[in-house]
Structure 1
Amino acid sequence: MENPWALIEYVVDFLNPELDAFEASLYLYLLRNTIIKTGSPTIRVGKRSIALNWVKGSRGGGTGNAGGVYVNYGHVTATLKGLEAKGCLSIGDTNRDGTLYTLRLPVDIPLVAAKIA
């Protein structure tokens, strides 16, 4: 994408309204750790790593959780499947290092492309 501001516009104006809050948050987390950070649309990461690094709830948490409750593994799985169903990413093979996820830019997501056209 030539204009980085267009990426923000497409995410905020066209993609976010189609996603629930967790899907939008996870999409941004993956976008930051793929295309923005490395320039590559792919990342290999485990679901537990996503759960630990993505978001924390606002309540609970003991020593290691410092005031928040980590998202559980099942919720990460459901949110990833929701993003896949909406065409935001594809889920690839799994090995010891985690699962391969390929994130799509908003312009390449069919539900966004239909709005832009």
Structure 2
Amino acid sequence: MRRRKEPLLPDEMDMLTDDLAALRRLGRDLVAGIRREIAKHRARNVDHEPEQGELTMTASRRFDGKPETAADSRFFDLRESGYRGPIDQDGNAVTSGQAKEILDALAQIPST
């Protein structure tokens, strides 16, 4: 977009001010409408029992509350089953290899 070299005329400034005010009103109206729809949806689903085959949200074990990935599920399942060893970025138990050797050596260092 090319820049104007001359300043805006008073009428042009008034038009821009009016446009900005209209956009702000539109934004407030949209936000209010969205909030109303969310409230209606929540009110309808307060006592809603899921039907067979209907997807439901399950509680996440992640600290941030986001849905669990497959790796997250494997990680939490391993920890809940009592496994206390190293786990890789894919949620799998590390049972061999250089990473296992390094982690075992670190575990032998006494804590202060």
Q: Is the structural similarity TM-score above 0.5?
A: no
TM bracket, shorter-chain basis:
under 0.3
TM-score by length of 2: 0.22
TM-score by length of 1: 0.21
Structure showing greater radius of gyration is 2
Q: Which has the higher strand share?
A: 1
